[in-house]
Amino acid sequence: EVQLLESGGGLVQPGGSLRLSCAASGFTFSSYAMSWVRQAPGKGLEWVSVISGSAGGTYYADSVKGRFTISRDNSKKTLYLQMNSLRVEDTAVYYCAKHYGSGKYNHGMDVWGQGTTVTVSS
C-alpha cells in the first residue's frame, strides 16, 4: 500500500525551529517529486515547497523562502522540512504529498499523508 506518514509537528515559540519528517512506503520513493502543502486553521490549502526525486531541484513559496528548507533521504525513503524563524502565521496542518507521475511536477499530487500540526505561539 502506498503510504505517507508525517511526524515532527508540535508547539514552538515564535522565532523557533522545527523539523518535519515524512516517511514513505509502497512506491519507488526516489522516482517521484515530493511537496509540502499546509493548511492554516479554517483556511484553504497553501503549497509550500517541492523537491525533485533526485533532490537536484527545489522550489519554495515566497512566504517561506529563506526560512524553510526541503530535503530528502532516498535511502531512508524520507522527506524533510526544516522550518526556522517560525512565525505565528506558520501555524497550520502540514501535509506531505507525492507528485503523480514518475519524474513529473505537472500532474498534481496523488498521495497525501494524514498531516502533522504545527502551532507557533508564545
Partner 1 sequence: DIQMTQSPSSVSASVGDRVTITCRASQGISSWLAWYQQKPGKAPKLLMYAASSLQSGVPSRFSGSGSGTDFTLTISSLQPEDFATYYCQHTNTFPHTFGQGTKLEIK
- Binding region for partner 1 (CB under 8 A): 35, 37, 44-47, 50, 59-62, 95, 97, 100, 105-110, 112-115
Judged by beta carbon, residue 7 or residue 114, the one nearer partner 1 is 114
Please state the closest distance from residue 75 (CB atom) to partner 1, in A. Answer: 26
Pick between residue 13 and residue 102 the one whose CB is nearest to partner 1: 102
Separation CA 83–CA 31 (nearest Å) = 25
Q: Rounded CA gap, 20 and 34, in Å? A: 14
Task: Kindly state the DSSP code that residue 105 receives in the 8-state scheme.
Answer: S
For partner 1, give the closer residue by CB, 16 or 105. Answer: 105
Backbone angles phi, psi at 95, to 5 degrees: -110, 140
Nearest approach in angstroms of CB 116 to partner 1 is: 11
